[in-house]
C-alpha cells in the first residue's frame, strides 16, 4: 500500500472522488465526508495489528517536494517498526509518477524532476536511513531496466518482474489459459475494439504496448538475465521472515 504522497494538501488536490478520497467503512462503503488521506495512512497500522505484512512508499514525482516525501517515508517505516516490531521486514517501495500513454490527458506539472537520474540515489537514502531497522528496499519496475539494476545494486533487496500497470494489463496471461475457441473469440473482440492497433501476427506484444501508464515492461527471463549479468545474486522465493536481512 503506497501512500501516493504524505502531503495532505497534495493528496487532496489529486484524489478528489471515491474511496481513495473518503475512505471506507467496515461494510466497504465510501465514508461520507471521510478523510481518505488519513484512512490510507493508517492502513499499515490496521494490517500490522492483524498480523499481516506491510509496505510503505510515496509516489516519487507526484509532489514536487521529493525530499519531503523521502523523509516522510523513512519516518513512517521507522514508526511502524518501532510500534509493532513486525515479524516480516517493512517493504519500502519506490513507485514513480510516470506519464501516461495518452498525452492529451496527462495532467502532470510541466516541471517534474526526472526521477530516473536519481532513482539509485533515492534507494540508497532509504537503505542508509533504515539500516538499523528491518526494512527491504524495493526498487520497482516503473523505471528502465538499467536504472532499476543500478538501484538494486545500490540498495535493493526485493524487486519485481513482469509487472503491468494499466487496466487489462494481464489480459495476455489470462487469454493464454483459455480454450482455443475462447481465445479466438476474445482476439476478434480485441481487434474490433482496438481497430488498426492490433495485427494478426504481433497482437500479444501490441496488447502489452497499450498500457495506460508508461513503464518498461520486460519478461521475467529478461530481468533474471540482466540481474545475473550485472553480478547480482538472485535468491529463491522465500517468506521474508525466514530470510536474512
Q: pLDDT, tens digit, for every residue of 213-234? A: 666 778 889 989 999 999 988 8
Confidence of residue 242 (pLDDT cuts 50, 70, 90): very low
Q: How confident is the model at residue 243 (pLDDT cuts 50, 70, 90)?
A: very low
- Does residue 40 register a pLDDT over 90? yes
* Three-class DSSP category at 17: coil
* Residue 166 confidence (pLDDT): 67
* Higher local confidence (pLDDT), 42 or 241: 42
**Is the pLDDT higher at 157 or at 114?**
157
What's the grid cell of residue 49? 495489528
Residue 99 has pLDDT above 80, yes or no: no
Position with higher pLDDT, 195 vs 55: 55
Beta bridge partners of 138: 93
Contact status, residue 141 vs residue 161, Cβ threshold 8 Å: yes
Residue 178, phi-psi category: left (phi > 0), alpha (psi -120 to 50), beta (remainder): beta
Give 61 or 22, the one with higher predicted confidence. Answer: 22
pLDDT at 209 over 70: no
Cell numbers found for residue 4? 501516493
Do 208 and 216 contact (CB within 8 A), yes or no?
Answer: no
pLDDT at 45 over 80: yes
Task: Check pLDDT > 60 for residue 240.
Answer: no
Q: Under a CB-based contact definition with an 8 Å cutoff, are residues 36 and 5 in contact? A: no
Contact 137, 157 (CB under 8 A): yes
Report residue 40 as a C-alpha cell: 490510507
**Higher per-residue confidence, 3 vs 208:** 3
Q: Can you give the pTM of this predicted structure?
A: 0.82
Can you read off the three cell numbers belonging to residue 173?
496471461
Determine the Cα–Cα distance for residues 57 and 76; give it in Å rounded to an integer.
9
Residue 74 in this model has a pLDDT that exceeds 60:
yes
pLDDT for 75 equals 97
Amino acid at each position: 500500500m503506497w501512500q501516493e504522497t504524505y502531503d495532505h494538501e497534495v493528496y487532496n488536490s489529486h484524489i478528489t472522488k471515491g474511496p481513495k478520497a473518503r475512505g471506507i467503512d467496515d461494510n466497504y462503503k465510501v465514508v461520507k465526508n471521510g478523510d481518505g488521506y488519513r484512512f490510507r495512512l493508517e492502513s499499515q497500522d490496521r494490517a500490522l495489528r492483524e498480523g499481516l505484512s506491510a509496505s510503505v512508499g510515496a509516489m516519487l514525482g507526484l509532489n514536487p517536494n521529493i525530499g519531503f516525501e523521502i523523509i516522510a517515508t523513512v519516518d513512517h517505516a521507522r514508526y511502524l517498526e518501532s510500534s509493532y516490531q513486525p515479524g516480516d521486514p517493512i517493504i519500502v517501495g519506490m513507485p514513480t509518477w510516470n506519464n501516461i500513454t495518452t498525452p492529451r490527458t496527462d495532467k502532470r506539472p510541466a516541471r517534474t524532476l526526472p526521477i530516473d537520474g536519481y532513482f539509485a540515489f533515492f534507494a540508497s537514502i532509504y537503505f542508509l536511513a533504515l539500516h538499523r531497522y528491518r526494512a527491504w528496499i524495493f526498487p520497482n519496475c516503473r523505471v528502465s531496466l538499467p536504472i532499476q539494476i543500478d538501484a538494486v545494486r545500490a540498495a535493493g533487496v526485493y524487486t519485481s518482474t513482469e509487472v503491468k500497470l494499466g487496466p487489462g494489463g494481464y489480459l495476455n496471461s489470462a487469454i493464454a489459459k483459455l480454450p482455443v475457441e475462447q481465445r479466438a473469440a476474445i482476439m476478434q473482440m480485441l481487434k474490433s475494439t482496438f481497430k488498426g492497433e492490433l495485427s494478426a501476427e504481433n497482437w500479444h506484444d501490441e496488447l502489452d504496448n497499450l498500457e495506460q501508464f508508461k513503464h518498461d515492461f520486460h519478461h521475467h527471463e529478461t530481468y533474471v538475465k540482466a540481474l545475473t549479468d550485472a553480478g547480482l545474486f538472485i535468491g529463491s522465493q522465500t517468506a521474508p521472515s525466514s530470510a536474512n536481512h
